[in-house]
């Protein structure tokens, strides 16, 4: 199995569990359809606001082994408007 952020990591543990229990995951893993592809548009169907198309970027700390995935929508796009609806719905009253 491909190492995910080192042996014993939470991601590696989760991948091991899924490989053990899910035929679909094993097929996708073998086909290399899982993992981080930061330069692609990700498409999600949110149950409250509908379809979202988000760009993904990785922000890495050069002094640590930490990284942060940042998903953004193009300003003015339908996805951006839907993210604003979600942010407003989550804001304290």
Domain hosting 43: range is 37-93
The overall pTM is greater than 0.75? no
Q: Indicate if the pLDDT at residue 32 is higher than 90.
A: no
pLDDT at 61: 67
> Given a cut of 80, is residue 93 above it in pLDDT?
no
pLDDT tens per residue across span 51-66: 999 988 777 766 667 7
**Residue environment code for 1-26, b if the CB has 16+ CB neighbours within 10 A, otherwise e:** eeebeeeeeeebeebeeeeeeeeebe
Q: Both tokens of residue 3?
A: 């190492």
Determine what percent of the chain is predicted with pLDDT higher than 70. 76
The tokens 């991948």 sit on which residue? 15
Distance CA 40, CA 47 (A): 22
Q: How far, in Å, CA of 84 to CA of 89, rounded? A: 9
Does 47 lie in the same domain as 14?
Answer: no
**Confidence tier at 78 by pLDDT (50, 70, 90):** very high
Tell whether 63 and 26 lie within a shared domain: no
31 plus 42 within the same structural domain: no
């Amino acid at each position: 199995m491909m190492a995910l952020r080192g042996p014993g990591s939470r991601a590696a543990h989760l991948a091991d569990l899924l490989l053990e229990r899910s035929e679909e995951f094993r097929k996708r893993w073998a086909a290399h359809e899982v993992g981080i592809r930061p330069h692609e548009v990700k498409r999600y169907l949110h149950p409250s606001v509908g379809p979202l198309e988000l760009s993904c970027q990785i922000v890495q700390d050069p002094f640590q082994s930490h990284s942060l995935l940042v998903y953004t929508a193009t300003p003015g796009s339908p996805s951006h408007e839907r993210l604003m609806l979600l942010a407003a719905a989550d804001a304290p009253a």
